[in-house]
Amino acid sequence: MSTSTGGAVGGTDATSGGTYTPAPGAAPLARMIAAQTAFETKLLLRNGEQLLLTVIIPSLLLVLFSTVDVVDTGEGKAVDFLAPGVLALAVMSTAFTGQAIATGFERRYGVLKRLAVSPLPRWALMTAKTLSVLVTEALQVVLLTVIAFGLGWSPRGNPLAVLLLLVLGTAAFSGLGLLMAGTLKAEATLAAANLVFLLLLVGGGVIVPLDRFPDAARAVLELLPISALSGGLRDALQHGAGMDWGGVGVLAVWAVLGLGAAGRLFRWE
């Protein structure tokens, strides 16, 4: 004679709210952002083109211009002038150029459209992408610092000032990159992001000192986020100055405008 199981499944009563009871609903927001951040970081680090842009090019520029007398960087060792500028370039290449191109093609191929129907809010996606950029930049800073030390770099200054400038620079460039990727077609984003990268590499105080430009042009160039970031890092790391509040202000304005516009105008498809 058999006994009734009373609806038990695997030894657990199906009506008792045991371990097999489903719990539909979205995960906590913090967990969603963390998962998306990890996913975005893995994608970025696996992309060969992104690694070329974010790691190889800044490293080559640092080594080349520090060892070959091509550009007059003023008094002192060339690497002392170049290292802060290349750190700023690394931030721009990851937060702006690389992120804009990757996000633009994600939008074109429908990846963002699928994310749009998930519980992940638009601002949370942008937060995850920005956090992914910060993780990648931390790796860049470590690598470039090791290379610069090998070339005889002697940094000075307040580490907190350097950290604040890097974070604000990341926010500014990330907002601008997401704004471009969320409003332009992928092909236009690819062309525009690379063009801006080249123009700011030359005119942003990364390799060529801004005092080499005419006064009128210099006044405009100093308002660019790359100039504020490279100048602020150079003041701290090369000259041992305190907080560059002018550069901090410029970066903060770009960050607010860029992230605000991206959050408002970003289109999923």
Residue in this structure with the two tokens 């290292």, named with its chain if needed: 83
- List C-alpha distances in Å: 229 to 20, 163, 210: 54, 11, 13
pLDDT at residue 23, as a whole number: 63
Contact yes or no for 222/140 (Cβ under 8 A)? no
pLDDT at residue 141, as a whole number: 92
* 104 alpha-carbon distance from chain centroid: 15
pLDDT at residue 9, as a whole number: 46
Compute the distance between CA of residue 121 and CA of residue 153 in angstroms, rounded to an integer: 43
pLDDT at residue 11, as a whole number: 47
Q: Kindly state the tokens that stand for 189.
A: 């984003």
Q: Which long-range contacts (CB under 8 A, 24 or more apart) does 144-150 make?
A: 144/58, 144/59, 144/62, 144/83, 144/86, 144/87, 144/90, 145/83, 147/59, 147/62, 147/63, 148/62, 148/66, 148/79, 148/83, 148/86
Over its length of 269 residues, how does the chain's per-residue pLDDT go in tens digits? 444 444 444 444 455 555 666 666 667 778 888 888 888 888 777 776 777 778 888 999 999 988 988 877 777 789 999 999 999 999 999 999 988 988 888 888 887 778 767 777 777 877 888 788 888 899 899 999 999 999 999 898 888 999 999 999 999 999 999 899 989 998 999 999 999 999 999 889 898 889 889 989 999 999 999 999 999 999 999 888 888 899 999 999 999 999 899 888 888 77
pLDDT at residue 8, as a whole number: 46
* Position 139, amino acid: L
Compute the distance between CA of residue 32 and CA of residue 11 in angstroms, rounded to an integer: 33
Q: How many CB atoms lie within 10 A of CB 45?
A: 15
Residue in this structure with the two tokens 């004679």, named with its chain if needed: 1
Based on its alpha-carbon atoms, the radius of gyration of the chain, rounded to whole angstroms, reads: 23
